Amino acid sequence: DAMVIQNPRYQVTQFGKPVTLSCSQTLNHNVMYWYQQKSSQAPKLLFHYYDKDFNNEADTPDNFQSRRPNTSFCFLDIRSPGLGDAAMYLCATSRAGDHNEQFFGPGTRLTVL
Amino acid sequence: EDQVTQSPEALRLQEGESSSLNCSYTVSGLRGLFWYRQDPGKGPEFLFTLYSAGEEKEKERLKATLTKKESFLHITAPKPEDSATYLCAVNKLSFGAGTTVTVRA
């Protein structure tokens, strides 16, 4: 089945220790997104890629970076995680166009100690 | 800036007790309103897209409607398996915080 895969599902890191979350897709969609979702809150868009074009949301902290080496893979790097970065991180993909729905991965739950 | 408000935050229903969830939005131009279902510890799963006022879509016990200012998700005769958080999003990227629905048998 075509899908969006996120690894790991659970990640524990220490305060200030860099961490990388990964996302892969078999849907061949040209748009990929990273969201941060805290408990009982709306998913918050961090950035997205339209093919290789990177789009950063204005309020995404510099501590968050992303890479998309090819169509299938996308990475989220948190350079110096703080306690406030503990959250669920969701990767999503879609075809281009405002009318196309997003397909979400299962998420990575990040804990910062 | 697009804004989305969902109400109520939580809804507890008895099996078979129909109800509605509200999604109010403020946008400069609506290009699509999306409903998703999210189960605990999982990513959202797409349900519906609505584009214009008056549009309706149905899937099993769920029916979504759209006006110029809000959308409703109607749950008819819910079952325990309908328990989830229901998210709406406008113009694809602006999400509400969701309504958590719990259906008791």
Q: Does A25 touch chain B (CB under 8 A)?
A: no
Cα–Cα distance for residue pair A88/A70, rounded to 1 Å: 24
- Tell me the pLDDT tens digit for each residue of B78-95: 999 999 999 999 988 899
CA–centroid distance for B76 within its chain: 13
Return d(Cα A22, Cα A108) in angstroms, integer. Answer: 9
pLDDT digits (tens, 9 = 90+) for A92-109: 999 988 888 999 999 999
Residues of B whose CB is below 8 A from A102: 34, 44, 46, 92
DSSP string for B12-64: EEETT--EEEEEEEE-SS-S-EEEEEE-TTS--EEEEEE-STT-EEEETTEEE
- What pLDDT is stored for residue A2 in this prediction? 67
Decide if A98 and B92 are in contact by the 8 Å CB cutoff: yes
How far apart, in whole angstroms, are the C-alpha atoms of residue B5 and residue A107?
A: 23
pLDDT in tens, A36-78: 999 989 999 999 999 999 999 989 999 999 999 999 999 999 9
Q: Which residues, including other chains, have CB under 8 Å from residue A2's CB and lie 6 or more apart? A: A25, A26, A27
By the CB < 8 Å criterion, does A99 face chain B? Answer: yes
